[in-house]
Structure 1
Amino acid sequence: MPNWLNIAILVLVAYVTISIVLYYLQDYMLFKPERLPEDFQFNYENQEFKEYNLETRDGAIINGVRFFPKGESKGVVLYLKGNSKSIKGWGKFAVDFTRHGYNVLMVDYRGFGKSTGRRSQKAIKRDLQVVYNKIKELTTENRIILYGRSLGSGFAAKLASMNHPKMLILDAPYYSLTRVTARYAPFMPLSVLLKYPLPTYKWLKYVQCPIHIIHGTNDKLIPYKTSVRLSRVNPKLTRLHTVIGGGHKNLNNFESYHEMIHEILNKAPENIDLSTTSIHVKHTSKKSKTKA
């Protein structure tokens, strides 16, 4: 057998082996859950909260915590977190919304915190729709805000595309999870192997509420240009908010981030009379010709 054929077979075997390993181990690479015992007691300083457990149709338990504002409620923020830890730690970010008068509901995905059940993209989407439906039993949709952080941005976009919330806020979102992982395995057929493609860009096309995208210019995991591309998917409804110097995990450490959240939650949209602006004025690079 020629040497080149031996080499080709070895490369093919290695490629297939790596593909199989990626397929079966991707849950461990994509998700970094923190598991909590059933009797774990949540404790958040200076915050009023209540714990909930929701049983799904396949017998899984989705655990969540609802944080209450000090005064009258303006609505509910369904906060969909990133791919690590549990709401034990993520709960400290609820204050960024309760201070503006909103209830905040955070839930752990399957296998995170106290939540149980076999995890899959379909199962998580179904779970979150059930959670959304429960919120609708308590308030109207025009009082529901979806906030998706990193991994949660894709699920938030999907929920918004299937429902009619007040608005959708995406924090450090990805174009699709396939694109994110392709940066680390560019030669692998991830479109076939990935069990969690999460095509945020596809779902954003069908969102009918205002979309706010927040992203840091120094994000090394999900580049800022990703949000620039996403902002073009549904441009009439989308506004891109840029945190200069912000990374992937530290946007909350920037004053500009909190100013953006304040503006998004409190400033009423204004209708501009475009007929009084320069919107139709066009620049020309050609010099006007004068007649002799």
Structure 2
Amino acid sequence: MYYVIYAFSLPLSMAYWVSTLIFILVIYVVISILLYYLQDYFLFKPEKLPADFQFFYENQEVDEYTIETRDGAQLNGLHFKVEKPKGVVLYLKGNSKSIKGWGKFAVDFTRNGYDVVMMDYRGFGKSTGRRNQKALKRDLQVIYNKLREHVDEKHIILYGRSLGSGLATKIASVNNPRMLILDAPYYSLTKVTARYAPFMPLSLLIKYPLPTYKWLKYVQCPIHIIHGTDDKLIPYKTSVKLSKIKPKLTKLYTVIDGGHKNLNNFESYHKMLTEILHSTPKKVDLEGSSFKVIHNTKRKNA
């Protein structure tokens, strides 16, 4: 009798585990599908603006522009102007709101003598069109080309903030701007999202991998990275890692206690930004310096 019970209990136990594994697999597949189709909702937080919305910024001269792309999308943006500009900053914003709110940061560049051009990504503000990574890169190249028609590349600065840092890096990698400034950049968007879904195959699911680290390898202009040590969304160590990709061209600026969204509230950030905007690349003569001198602690008086 005992043998009979045992003979039937094993298959039942196996059936239970098989059904459990199938259930888990189904749940995993369902979550993967949801992540794929809903990732735009999680990655982008756009603010829509009516077509007749009027932009206004106190003590700033600004023109609104709209550019139509080859696929019929409308790209809406702002051009902040100064008298006798030293150059122009193409400011690529983060993943939320619209240039209505981001426009207030233009003053940090106009006060230093630079024009500023901002653009709303597809689906943000007044901009229209179907959004995907290829379209975003193509749109920004269109804007960059428009700038080159009026300004020599040696006077164009690319500034990428958070989401915009990867896109700014891509544009810098295939052009020759004066410099690239990255504010709270990510190694890749796949790495950022992996922190919140570590067990999902994000390399296969994510439609916006935005591999900053890959594109940074092809950048030939000076690279300036600004990051806060208290950034909870994109850790400071990310910028340390990025700074090692092109070390001879890169300078890392650290905002002590700075978070992800509040660097503009730190005096040190504004000092760094002013230094960057007014800097000119200088070749350092290492002749007669301690470069490559070995510090041998075994020698007396070493």
Pair 1:129 & 2:123 matched: no
Cross-structure match for 1:72: 84
- Summarize deviations over 1:241-273 as a string: whole Å, max 9, x none: 000000000000000000001100112233221
CA distance in 1, matches of 2:28, 2:217: 35
- Counterpart residue identity of residue 109, structure 2: F
CA distance in 2, matches of 1:256, 1:277: 30
Cross-structure match for 2:220: 208
Cross-structure match for 2:98: 86
CA distance in 2, matches of 1:271, 1:209: 14
CA distance in 2, matches of 1:10, 1:284: 63
Pair 1:29 & 2:50 matched: no
Cross-structure match for 2:256: 244
Runs of 4+ in structure 1 off by over 3 angstroms are 285-288
CA distance in 2, matches of 1:213, 1:133: 24
Give the 3-state SS of the residue equivalent to 2:30 in structure 1.
helix
Q: Which runs of 5+ in 2 are unaligned?
A: 1-11
- Counterpart residue identity of residue 3, structure 1: Y
Cross-structure match for 1:169: 181
- Counterpart residue identity of residue 38, structure 2: L
Residue 16 of structure 1: which of 16, 29, 34 is its match? 29
CA drift of 1:275 comes to: 1.1
Cross-structure match for 1:119: 131
Pair 1:110 & 2:122 matched: yes
CA drift of 1:280 comes to: 1.9
CA distance in 2, matches of 1:48, 1:128: 23
Rg larger for: 2
Cross-structure match for 1:182: 194
- Summarize deviations over 1:173-219 as a string: whole Å, max 9, x none: 00000000000000000000000000000000000000000000000
Pair 1:260 & 2:272 matched: yes
CA distance in 1, matches of 2:50, 2:288: 62
Q: Percent identity?
A: 72
CA distance in 1, matches of 2:152, 2:274: 22
Pair 1:222 & 2:225 matched: no
Q: How many residues were matched structurally? A: 287
Residue 231 of structure 1: which of 243, 249, 253 is its match? 243
- Counterpart residue identity of residue 49, structure 2: L
Give the 3-state SS of the residue equivalent to 1:170 in structure 2.
strand
Cross-structure match for 1:139: 151
Give the 3-state SS of the residue equivalent to 1:163 in structure 2.
coil
Pair 1:54 & 2:60 matched: no
CA drift of 1:286 comes to: 3.4
CA drift of 1:223 comes to: 0.1
Give the 3-state SS of the residue equivalent to 2:287 in structure 1.
helix
CA drift of 1:118 comes to: 0.2
Give the 3-state SS of the residue equivalent to 1:50 in structure 2.
strand
- Counterpart residue identity of residue 146, structure 1: L
CA drift of 1:72 comes to: 1.1
CA distance in 2, matches of 1:103, 1:156: 17
Q: Which runs of 5+ in 1 are unaligned?
A: none
CA drift of 1:287 comes to: 4.8
- Counterpart residue identity of residue 260, structure 1: M
CA distance in 1, matches of 2:208, 2:297: 49
Tell me how large the CA RMSD over aligned residues is: 0.9
CA distance in 2, matches of 1:57, 1:225: 39
CA distance in 2, matches of 1:41, 1:217: 37
